[in-house]
């Protein structure tokens, strides 16, 4: 395994901006460093696809506890860890930390790790979900922007419940309730303060 400069784990509520953070990090540093991006949901997507089921948030949420029940609470975390060890990247982002008892301990075993909490008010996130579901050519889980009631119901899924506790362990918090310029400014602050890199 190549020792990365940083292994950045992202936790946050759905549609809070985790993918955008990864994009901004790569835009700021991609001319100097090789990036790799992994998601805890990658393994879930592969399983759901293999079952010939639609890739919806509901199906992924059902798959996660089923795999953990069958193969151990840390099965998804170890799957991501294996992907990280296979990587040759300088900076690795891991999107979608969900389980305090498995995902966080595995992240903390990885070299030069940081836990970043990305958040925004639920109303803001719902509007983003609606916009994302209308955009063509963008990877998203179908049905994300159906209704505000459904959006709130999905917030109570078992895979979402530990996010507030994990957020308390974060090394850095990003508030994504403002503009893209505000968000990029916070990403730059993280780069300087935590990664010790001048972009």
Q: Is residue 47 part of a domain?
A: yes
In a domain, 45, yes or no: yes
Question: Is 199 among the domain residues?
Answer: no
Q: What is the mean pLDDT of residues 103-125?
A: 95
Please give the model's pTM, rounded to 2 decimal places.
0.85
Q: What is the pLDDT of residue 46?
A: 94
**Residue 12 located in a structural domain:** yes
Average pLDDT over the chain, rounded to an integer? 89
**Is position 131 within any domain?**
yes
55-69 per-position pLDDT tens digit: 887 888 889 889 989
| CA dist., res. 143 & res. 4, Å (int) | 36
- 198 belongs to a structural domain: no
Domain limits for position 172: 6-193
Residue 94 lies in a domain: yes
- Under a CB-based contact definition with an 8 Å cutoff, are residues 177 and 147 in contact? no
pLDDT in tens, 31-53: 899 999 998 889 999 999 999 99
Q: CA of 75: how far to CAs of 5, 46, 83, 105, 162, in Å?
A: 25, 14, 13, 13, 17
Say how many domains are in the chain.
Answer: 1
CA distances from 67 to 62, 72, 124 (A): 9, 7, 32
Residue 65: how many other CB atoms lie within 10 Å = 14
138 vs 54, which has greater pLDDT?
Answer: 54
What CATH number is attached to the domain comprising 161? 3.40.50.300
Query: Per the domain annotation, does 126 fall within a domain?
Result: yes
pLDDT at 68: 87
pLDDT over 90 at 112, yes or no: yes
């Amino acid at each position: 395994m190549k020792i990365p400069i940083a292994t950045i784990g992202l936790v946050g509520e759905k549609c809070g901006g985790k993918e955008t953070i990864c994009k901004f990090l790569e835009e700021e540093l991609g001319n100097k460093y090789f990036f790799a991006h992994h998601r805890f949901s990658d393994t879930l997507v592969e399983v759901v696809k293999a079952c010939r089921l639609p890739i919806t948030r509901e199906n992924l949420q059902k798959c996660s506890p089923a795999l953990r029940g069958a193969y151990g609470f840390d099965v998804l975390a170890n799957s991501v860890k294996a992907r990280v060890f296979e990587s040759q990247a300088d900076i690795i982002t891991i999107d979608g930390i969900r389980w305090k008892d498995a995902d966080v301990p595995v992240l903390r075993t990885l070299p030069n790790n940081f836990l970043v909490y990305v958040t925004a008010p639920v109303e803001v996130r719902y509007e983003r979900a609606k916009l994302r579901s209308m955009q063509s050519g963008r990877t998203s889980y179908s049905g994300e922007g159906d209704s505000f009631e459904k959006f709130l119901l999905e917030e109570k899924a078992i895979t979402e419940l530990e996010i507030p506790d994990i957020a308390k362990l974060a090394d850095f918090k990003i508030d994504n309730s403002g503009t893209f310029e505000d968000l990029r400014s916070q990403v730059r602050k993280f780069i300087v303060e935590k990664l010790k890199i001048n972009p």
